[in-house]
Amino acid sequence: MESSTNRPDITGALRQSEALVAAGSWDDAIRVLTESNRREEHPEVEKKLLQLRHQAFASVTKKSSAVPDWPKSLPDYFPGVTSIPEIPAAELCAEIVTSAIAHHGSLMVRGMIDKKVAEGIREAIDHSFNSAAEVPTPRTPMPPWYLPFRTHSDKYSFGGPERSYARQGGGLHGVDAPRALFRHLDALSAVGFDRMLEDYFGERVAISAKKTTLRRTEPGALAGWHQDGAFLGTETRSLNIWTALSPCGEDAASLDIIPRRFNDLVEMGGPEIFDWAVSNETAERYGGESAVRPVFETGDALLFDQLTLHRTGVDSSMTKTRYAIEMWCFAASTYPHEQVPLCI
């Protein structure tokens, strides 16, 4: 058991972060609370971290400007690969990501998150879903697992409709699950993913409150082809990291990916599907016959942008639940503000 002398001073960390914010040192305030929560997880700290990440966007990104001629023109580092290119996490860098996205549309990173760490995130996802299903009472203490997120300004919209839509798809917003999101962001920071993102975009990065989603997908999930650029826009500079927190692709749903680069949106719409979805017939015309359904081990991650044509990869033989986190990241200079920003 940890002695009281070694335990973090939660109140002191919160006060220190407030003083740093007052001095305009947003990054330092986030760092202080992050280090405190690594030593001992605490719901007040996790709630405050989310607030600071959201509120910091206007201050820390005001000097951010788009890098000209982005993305860099790079050779294909995976010549002859007709499926999804793969690398181990130790080889992850901005140049490899840039090349893979530009020439193949996606990149598989094996072992992005350590399996034991991923198990802790998966545990947090279960707690978060279970807590979200409970009816709170006035005496319920602040829960570490589920706490509905509130934006700091009326210019951002986030609430019931977004939550309802996420739950219909077997999802829960990461900002509503402070501990699960903290563990996920901290695990990615440990392997330098946040630093890689800044190298990739050439500027500050923010994630989306609306499109950072914990996934607990049951067998029989709905699947429809789509490009996220249909609602994120084609000029937005984005990168999605889809991290598997349980094995998937054989007994549990995976993703179906058309492994090629798309430079524009394809035709959308069709019978009985969302107006932003792509029909099976249209997907076939754009290479659907070559679609890949990758097999993920716990901790593997797939990177792709808003033009990649994909869907949930599921069939009737799958009987297990899939755990994953989808997190969309954006260059600050082209951030789609309706997505509600959080700095990382």
CATH of the domain at 116: 2.60.120.620
Arithmetic mean of pLDDT, 325-336: 96
pLDDT at 230 exceeding the cut of 90:
yes
Asked whether residue 333 is assigned to any structural domain, the reply reads: yes
Give the count of domains, the chain. 1
Asked whether residue 5 is assigned to any structural domain, the reply reads: no
Asked whether residue 216 is assigned to any structural domain, the reply reads: yes
Q: Which range has the worst mean pLDDT, 111-115, 155-159, 274-278, 287-291?
A: 274-278
pLDDT bracket for residue 136 (50, 70, 90): low
Q: Is the peptide bond before 71 cis (omega within 30 degrees of 0)?
A: yes
| Strand residue runs (E) in the chain | 86-88, 106-110, 171-173, 205-217, 225-226, 238-244, 254-257, 277-278, 301-304, 310-313, 322-331, 341-343
pLDDT value of residue 3? 47
Q: Which range has the worst mean pLDDT, 30-39, 265-274, 292-301?
A: 265-274
Q: Which range has the worst mean pLDDT, 133-137, 149-153, 157-161?
A: 133-137
Asked whether residue 231 is assigned to any structural domain, the reply reads: yes
pLDDT value of residue 316? 92
pLDDT at 43 exceeding the cut of 80:
yes
> Buried (b) or exposed (e) across 323-337, using 16+ Cβ within 10 A?
bbbbbbbbbbbbbbe
pLDDT in tens, 99-112: 999 999 999 999 99
Residue-number span of the structural domain to which 326 is assigned: 70-343
pLDDT at 34 exceeding the cut of 90:
yes
At residue 266, the 3 state secondary structure works out as coil
pLDDT at 213 exceeding the cut of 50:
yes
Asked whether residue 280 is assigned to any structural domain, the reply reads: yes
Asked whether the whole model's pTM tops 0.85, one would answer: yes
Q: Give the whole-angstrom CA distance, residue 146 versus residue 128.
A: 5
CB 50, CB 336: distance < 8 Å: no
pLDDT at 217 exceeding the cut of 60:
yes
pLDDT value of residue 2? 47
Asked whether residue 213 is assigned to any structural domain, the reply reads: yes
Percentage of the chain modeled with pLDDT above 90? 81
CB 184, CB 327: distance < 8 Å: yes
pLDDT bracket for residue 1 (50, 70, 90): very low
pLDDT in tens, 240-261: 999 999 999 999 999 999 999 9
pLDDT value of residue 82? 95
